[in-house]
């Protein structure tokens, strides 16, 4: 009994040791940034003059409302990823925003003000084509959804279906758009390719077909791309082969009238598909009779349809983008035209006359490190004197949103490219100028005693000066109210802090934009858009030279590889400033199979990057003479492996002195049975402090620390839940020897793996028990170490002891990573990204295959927790407390200068940065350290001794007198 009580106590202590966040630490060293993704649809909330909302629906399946004053989120709804949550259409009227989601599967209505769901209904299956709001007698009460075979009309208030009708001849006719002019009729337009347009007119009341007509149009193939409706139901279609506008009155439906563009005196740029833009300010009313015609990449025309005649109101040349906006009764056209290389000007024009409105010029400066403007969203409003004012939101190629006010003041910028970070690295900040000066003193050659002394004195003086300046700044800042103290961090005053806790986060996004972010504040310090990145590119970021080699600048290399062709390019840049490096990267004419960073350095301290092409030839970067010589010397000890998952082949190669390669080993995993899902090695910057574990009987169990070990995860091709399995292979990357093989039957992926030190942790879905399970494999050499000085894969005669244990985990996981510290003394934690948005820090202690089922004296001595099948999720372990991080895709960990502290960045739709202390802060004073108490106790003791000394003296004197 007593034993158990003691054990319980011990367990309590163990649980207590596990760290959590203190409430007063909130926001102290962590930050979160929320993103929405690349904007697909946007609407300004115009129901009130003072409204500050812009609704955005994005390609990341996010629907959100942004504050137009600050760019922050009012609310955000994150839907499922993939086509199931894809937002097909966004319709906005007054308080309601209607979304069509998942290829027409769902129809949802949201309240714009609070972001709450009004209603959601399930639509019939069938691929989505188009949707529109339907108005009658000036009010909008319905929404029409067109699918491949049916059209349905729903009430806007509750989503109930008013009527649903099958479309006539839907097997031949490809219905593409639905249109309503607000007169109680719904027009459905479809085409039969190379033949004719079909127009079906439904009555709004009961869904009866009023008319059904076909009009000859053999040239037309895509209505939404080439046709718009203007004025009283006039369909305007542009034909890019004959270069003419074809008009058709939807109410009379006689025949298409062809108006050649040449008759209007217009010429079209060759190889350009002209397009039309119209505007319907209110779904209950007819569209405007004015419309835009884009004739070339830099040419727009404002045209008007006047009694069947097309009148040119204004010719914009050059013009990049054009857009309509309505406020009250007034509609304006905004046109963006290039001003010079770095700026564009936006002007407002009256839509019905084409006259330029006075004082409406707005300058948009194009960021040289950003992309070209892509879309223009205009928010118009009426000023007090009844003239039209406006603000614009410019969307650029690099997914950035910039909100600008007249006359060109940027109110906010949102870098939505950061919603899709692919890979990242953390780079140490450089030393300050004074520190560098001091460092430089030691690097230079001595030139006389006197000058050395002088130099030392001068550098000390500089340091004193810097210290006084720092003190002065502290004093000055302390007097100001706290919120006014701005963290005005710019690239110029960046410097490493005492414990190297502040670093530069270099983030690579899928759009091809690179960011340099200060890890302390989250501020973007530099950005660079690479405009020639293919859409399906894979990225690999490597740090070739750190900041430690002053005066050589740090250097990062980004390998951008086209996934289809395998052709790659290198982008070499300075990670602190984001500037392209002076070094010219080699051209890579051959597809690249593998890239590896060697610990070798050239004379400028840049690590050598080896690139293996599809001819198995190796090229080095940098490829100076020095490097080649070093490579020749060490070639016999350079091994690398290639993975061909399509053929299930893993092969190891060795470098020859002439930079050709020879195959050393090959492991073939039959692709009919299983496929390779992932191959994980160890992180190169990982340190292991202790070689073994001390057992209860004071003997040592040595870890099997093979730096060349690869963990290969396979999944069965058979997905039947009884026969599916996952396999894990531990292969030595040098010799190809299979160290261990484990198969988990009745299990399915996705498998998440962490491979570190002497352990591999993986997570999978158990199809038999329908739950997520963790499994841990640990490798030990045994009680004796074979060769304790150096590890060689070629000379390890004994196979390691393998221990394995599995656990149940009550939730699925999104991603997993292990903490990393400077020297590896601190105990390890696993950082687990949960789909609920939490990032849990699970002590590795819980995933220990030596956890005993029956408690013994020895296991207690070792502090092993008794085995329990289920791991629990404790919210105290959430390092991001209530700041949910949506769709975590990756977690990056980096060591800091403090052994106790590990820097963590979680990225996905959001970005979250924090620090974790897996073994608590043992090397610095805690931030709640009570200086007051300590000093008051000290002073009290001091005075107490003084007083008692005095008293004793008096007493002695009195006694002597007696």
Partner 1 sequence: TDGSFAVNDIPSGSYVVEVVTPTYRFEPVRVDITSKGKMRARLVNHIKTSEVIRQPYPLQIRASGPHSYFMKRETWGWTDFLMNPMVMMMVLPLLIIVLLPKVVNTNDPEMRKEMEQSMNMLNPNPELPDVSELMTKLFSGSKASSKAGSSSKGSRPAAKRR
Give the Cβ contact number of residue 701 at 10 Å. Answer: 18
220 part of the interface to partner 1, by CB under 8 A: no
Tell me how far, at minimum, the Cβ of 568 lies from partner 1, in Å. Answer: 41
837 part of the interface to partner 1, by CB under 8 A: yes
857 part of the interface to partner 1, by CB under 8 A: yes
**Strands ordered across the beta sheet of 290-296:** 275-277, 290-296, 299-306, 309-316
Report d(CA 514, CA 507) in Å as an integer. Answer: 6
Quick one: 95 or 312, whose CB is closer to partner 1?
95
Which residues ranging from 890 to 949 are in contact with partner 1 (CB under 8 A)? 928, 930, 933
Peptide bond preceding 95 in cis form (omega within 30 of 0): no
Which residues ranging from 484 to 503 are in contact with partner 1 (CB under 8 A)? none
Tokens of 51: 């409204």
808 part of the interface to partner 1, by CB under 8 A: yes
810 part of the interface to partner 1, by CB under 8 A: yes
Tell me how far, at minimum, the Cβ of 141 lies from partner 1, in Å. Answer: 22
722 part of the interface to partner 1, by CB under 8 A: no
Quick one: 795 or 928, whose CB is closer to partner 1?
928
Stretch that binds partner 1, among 120-128, 473-481, 546-554, 901-909 (CB under 8 A): 120-128
Tell me how far, at minimum, the Cβ of 3 lies from partner 1, in Å. Answer: 8
82 part of the interface to partner 1, by CB under 8 A: no
Report d(CA 601, CA 546) in Å as an integer. Answer: 12
318 part of the interface to partner 1, by CB under 8 A: no
Quick one: 38 or 105, whose CB is closer to partner 1?
105
Quick one: 31 or 704, whose CB is closer to partner 1?
31
Reference 79, options 929, 887, 726; nearest CA is 887
Quick one: 18 or 288, whose CB is closer to partner 1?
18
Report d(CA 698, CA 690) in Å as an integer. Answer: 15
DSSP per position, 46-58: -SSTT--EEEEEE
Tell me how far, at minimum, the Cβ of 912 lies from partner 1, in Å. Answer: 13
63 part of the interface to partner 1, by CB under 8 A: no
Quick one: 745 or 771, whose CB is closer to partner 1?
771
State which of residues 120, 208, 267, 644 lies at the interface with partner 1 (CB under 8 A).
120
State which of residues 22, 272, 472, 939 lies at the interface with partner 1 (CB under 8 A).
22
Q: Give the DSSP letter of residue 866.
A: P
881 part of the interface to partner 1, by CB under 8 A: yes
769 part of the interface to partner 1, by CB under 8 A: yes
Q: Binding mask 230-259 vs partner 1 (x if CB under 8 A, - otherwise)?
A: ------------------------------
Tell me how far, at minimum, the Cβ of 930 lies from partner 1, in Å. Answer: 6
106 part of the interface to partner 1, by CB under 8 A: yes
775 part of the interface to partner 1, by CB under 8 A: no
Rg (CA), the chain: 34
Tell me how far, at minimum, the Cβ of 78 lies from partner 1, in Å. Answer: 11
477 part of the interface to partner 1, by CB under 8 A: no
Report d(CA 570, CA 793) in Å as an integer. Answer: 32
What spatial distance separates the first Cα and last Cα of the chain, rounded to whole Å? 65
Q: Which residues contact 339 (CB under 8 A, 6 or more apart)?
A: 345, 363
Tokens of 87: 């937002």
Report d(CA 276, CA 295) in Å as an integer. Answer: 9
Reference 33, options 914, 909, 916; nearest CA is 909
Is residue 274 helix, strand or coil? coil
Q: How many residues bind partner 1 (CB under 8 A)?
A: 35
State which of residues 241, 532, 882, 958 lies at the interface with partner 1 (CB under 8 A).
882
Quick one: 24 or 697, whose CB is closer to partner 1?
24
127 part of the interface to partner 1, by CB under 8 A: no
122 part of the interface to partner 1, by CB under 8 A: yes
386 — alpha (psi -120 to 50), left (phi > 0) or beta?
left
Tell me how far, at minimum, the Cβ of 503 lies from partner 1, in Å. Answer: 26
Tell me how far, at minimum, the Cβ of 143 lies from partner 1, in Å. Answer: 17
Tell me how far, at minimum, the Cβ of 880 lies from partner 1, in Å. Answer: 9
Give the Cβ contact number of residue 670 at 10 Å. Answer: 10
794 part of the interface to partner 1, by CB under 8 A: no
State which of residues 6, 172, 944, 954 lies at the interface with partner 1 (CB under 8 A).
6
Quick one: 10 or 356, whose CB is closer to partner 1?
10
105 part of the interface to partner 1, by CB under 8 A: yes
Phi, psi angle pair for 676, to nearest 5°: -75, 125
Tell me how far, at minimum, the Cβ of 875 lies from partner 1, in Å. Answer: 4
Quick one: 554 or 837, whose CB is closer to partner 1?
837
Q: According to the 3-state scheme, what is the secondary structure of 489-515?
A: CCCCCCCCCCCCCCEEEEEEECCCEEE
884 part of the interface to partner 1, by CB under 8 A: yes
Q: Which residues contact 613 (CB under 8 A, 6 or more apart)?
A: 588, 590, 591, 592, 593, 619
Q: Where are the extended beta strands (E) located within 251-357?
A: 257-260, 275-277, 290-296, 299-306, 309-316, 321-327, 330-338, 343-350
770 part of the interface to partner 1, by CB under 8 A: yes
Stretch that binds partner 1, among 145-153, 156-164, 250-258, 766-774 (CB under 8 A): 766-774
20 part of the interface to partner 1, by CB under 8 A: yes
Longest dimension (CA), the chain: 136
883 part of the interface to partner 1, by CB under 8 A: yes
Q: Tell how strand 513-518 and strand 373-382 pair up.
A: unpaired
Tell me how far, at minimum, the Cβ of 869 lies from partner 1, in Å. Answer: 6
Tokens of 326: 């309505």
Which residues ranging from 860 to 879 are in contact with partner 1 (CB under 8 A)? 869-870, 875-876, 878
698 part of the interface to partner 1, by CB under 8 A: no
Stretch that binds partner 1, among 119-127, 392-400, 677-685, 841-849 (CB under 8 A): 119-127
DSSP per position, 684-713: TT-----SEEE-TTS-EEEE---TTEEEEE
Measured in whole angstroms, the distance separating CA 155 from the mean position of its chain's CA atoms is 38
Q: Are 910 and 936 in contact (CB under 8 A)?
A: no
Reference 64, options 120, 115, 121; nearest CA is 115
Tell me how far, at minimum, the Cβ of 701 lies from partner 1, in Å. Answer: 23
State which of residues 67, 75, 113, 121 lies at the interface with partner 1 (CB under 8 A).
121
Q: Are 73 and 66 in contact (CB under 8 A)?
A: yes
Tell me how far, at minimum, the Cβ of 878 lies from partner 1, in Å. Answer: 6
Give the Cβ contact number of residue 482 at 10 Å. Answer: 7
Tell me how far, at minimum, the Cβ of 183 lies from partner 1, in Å. Answer: 33
Instruction: List residues bridging with 907 in a β-sheet.
Output: 890, 911
Report d(CA 131, CA 225) in Å as an integer. Answer: 15
Tell me how far, at minimum, the Cβ of 835 lies from partner 1, in Å. Answer: 8
Quick one: 26 or 469, whose CB is closer to partner 1?
26
Reference 870, options 791, 936, 939, 805; nearest CA is 805
Quick one: 105 or 752, whose CB is closer to partner 1?
105
Q: If you count them, how many residues does the chain have?
A: 962
Report d(CA 258, CA 245) in Å as an integer. Answer: 6
The CA dihedral of 833, 885, 395, 112, to the nearest 10 degrees, is: 140
Quick one: 326 or 883, whose CB is closer to partner 1?
883
Binding interface with partner 1 (CB under 8 A): 2-3, 6, 19-24, 102, 105-106, 120-122, 769-771, 808, 810, 836-837, 857, 869-870, 875-876, 878, 881-884, 928, 930, 933
């Amino acid at each position: 009994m007593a034993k158990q009580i003691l054990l319980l106590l011990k367990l309590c202590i163990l649980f207590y040791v596990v760290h959590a966040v203190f409430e007063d630490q909130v926001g102290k060293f962590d930050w979160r940034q929320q993103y929405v993704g690349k904007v697909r649809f946007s609407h300004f909330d115009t129901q009130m003059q003072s409204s500050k909302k812009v609704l955005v629906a994005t390609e990341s399946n996010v629907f959100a409302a942004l504050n137009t004053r600050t760019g922050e989120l009012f609310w955000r709804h994150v839907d499922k990823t993939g086509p199931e949550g894809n937002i097909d259409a966004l319709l906005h009227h007054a308080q309601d925003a209607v979304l069509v989601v998942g290829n027409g599967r769902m129809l949802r209505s949201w309240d714009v003000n609070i972001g709450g769901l009004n209603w959601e209904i399930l639509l019939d299956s069938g691929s989505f084509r188009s949707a529109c709001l339907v108005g009658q007698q000036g009010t909008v009460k319905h929404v029409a959804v067109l699918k491949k075979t049916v059209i349905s009309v729903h009430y806007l208030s509750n989503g109930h279906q008013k009527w649903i009708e099958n479309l006539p001849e839907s097997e031949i006719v490809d219905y593409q758009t639905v249109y309503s002019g607000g007169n109680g009729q719904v027009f459905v337009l479809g085409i039969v390719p190379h033949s004719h347009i079909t127009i079906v007119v439904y009555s709004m009341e009961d869904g009866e077909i009023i008319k059904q007509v076909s009009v000859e149009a053999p040239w037309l193939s895509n209505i939404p791309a080439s046709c718009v409706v203007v004025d009283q139901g006039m369909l305007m279609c542009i034909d890019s082969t004959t270069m003419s506008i074809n008009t058709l009155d939807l109410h009379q439906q006689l025949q298409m009238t062809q108006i050649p563009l040449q008759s209007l005196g217009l010429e079209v740029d060759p190889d350009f598909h002209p397009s039309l833009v119209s505007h319907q300010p209110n779904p209950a009313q007819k569209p405007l009779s004015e419309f835009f015609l884009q004739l070339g990449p830099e040419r727009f025309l404002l045209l008007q349809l006047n009694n069947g005649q097309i009148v040119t109101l204004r010719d914009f040349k050059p013009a990049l983008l054009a857009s309509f906006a309505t406020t009250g009764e007034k509609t304006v056209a905004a046109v963006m035209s290039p001003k010079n290389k770095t700026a564009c000007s936006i002007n407002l024009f009256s839509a019905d006359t084409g006259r330029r409105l006075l004082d409406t010029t707005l300058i948009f400066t194009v960021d040289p490190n950003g992309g070209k403007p892509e879309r223009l969203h205009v928010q118009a409003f009426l000023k007090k004197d009844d003239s039209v004012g406006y603000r614009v939101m410019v969307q650029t190629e690099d997914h950035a949103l910039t909100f600008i006010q007249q006359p060109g003041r940027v109110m906010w910028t949102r870098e939505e490219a950061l919603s899709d970070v692919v890979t990242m690295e953390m780079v140490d900040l450089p030393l300050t100028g004074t520190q560098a000066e001091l460092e430089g003193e030691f690097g230079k050659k001595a030139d006389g005693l006197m000058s050395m002394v002088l130099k030392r004195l001068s550098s000390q003086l500089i340091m004193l000066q810097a210290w006084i300046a720092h003190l002065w700044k502290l004093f000055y800042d302390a007097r100001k109210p706290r919120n006014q103290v701005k963290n005005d961090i710019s690239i110029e005053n960046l410097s490493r802090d005492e414990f190297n806790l502040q670093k530069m986060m270099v983030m690579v996004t899928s759009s091809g934009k690179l960011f340099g972010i200060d890890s302390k504040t989250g501020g973007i310090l530099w950005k660079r858009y690479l405009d020639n990145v293919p859409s399906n590119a894979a990225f690999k970021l490597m740090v070739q030279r750190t900041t430690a080699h002053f005066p050589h600048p740090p250097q990062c290399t980004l390998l951008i590889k086209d996934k289809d062709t395998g052709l790659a390019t290198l982008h070499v840049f300075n990670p602190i400033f984001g500037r392209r490096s002076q070094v010219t990267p080699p051209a890579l004419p051959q597809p690249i199979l593998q890239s590896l960073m060697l610990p070798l350095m050239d004379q400028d301290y840049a690590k050598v990057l080896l690139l293996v092409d599809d001819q198995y030839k190796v090229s080095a970067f940098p490829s100076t003479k020095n490097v080649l010589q070093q490579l020749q010397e060490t070639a016999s000890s350079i091994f690398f492996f290639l993975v061909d998952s399509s053929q299930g082949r893993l092969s190891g190669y060795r470098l020859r002195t002439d930079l050709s390669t020879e195959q050393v080993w090959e492991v073939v995993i039959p692709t009919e049975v299983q496929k390779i899902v992932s191959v994980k090695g160890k992180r190169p910057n990982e340190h292991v402090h202790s070689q073994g574990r001390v057992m209860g009987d004071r003997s040592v169990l040595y870890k099997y620390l093979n730096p060349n070990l690869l963990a290969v995860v396979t999944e069965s091709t058979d997905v039947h839940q009884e026969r599916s399995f996952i396999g894990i292979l531990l292969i030595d990357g040098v010799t190809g020897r299979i160290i261990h093989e484990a198969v988990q039957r009745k299990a399915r992926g996705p498998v998440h793996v962490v491979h570190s030190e002497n352990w591999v942790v993986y997570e999978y879905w158990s199809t038999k028990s329908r739950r997520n399970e963790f499994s841990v494999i640990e490798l030990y050499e045994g009680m004796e170490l074979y060769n304790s000085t150096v590890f060689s894969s070629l000379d390890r005669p004994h196979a390691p002891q393998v221990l394995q244990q599995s656990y149940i985990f009550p939730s699925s996981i999104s991603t997993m990573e292990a903490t990393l510290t400077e020297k590896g003394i601190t105990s390890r934690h696993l950082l687990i990204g949960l789909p609920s948005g939490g990032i849990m820090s699970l002590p590795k202690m819980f995933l220990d295959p030596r956890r005993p089922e029956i408690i013994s004296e020895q296991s207690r001595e070792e502090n092993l927790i008794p085995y329990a099948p289920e791991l629990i999720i404790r919210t105290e372990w959430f390092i991001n407390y209530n700041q949910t991080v949506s769709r975590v895709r990756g977690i990056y960990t980096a060591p800091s200068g403090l052994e106790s502290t590990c820097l963590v960045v979680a990225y996905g739709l959001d970005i979250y940065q924090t620090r974790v202390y897996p073994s608590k802060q043992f090397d610095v004073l805690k931030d709640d350290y009570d200086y007051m108490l300590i000093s008051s106790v000290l002073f009290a003791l001091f005075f107490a001794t003084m007083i008692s000394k005095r008293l004793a003296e008096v007493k002695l004197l009195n006694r002597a007198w007696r």
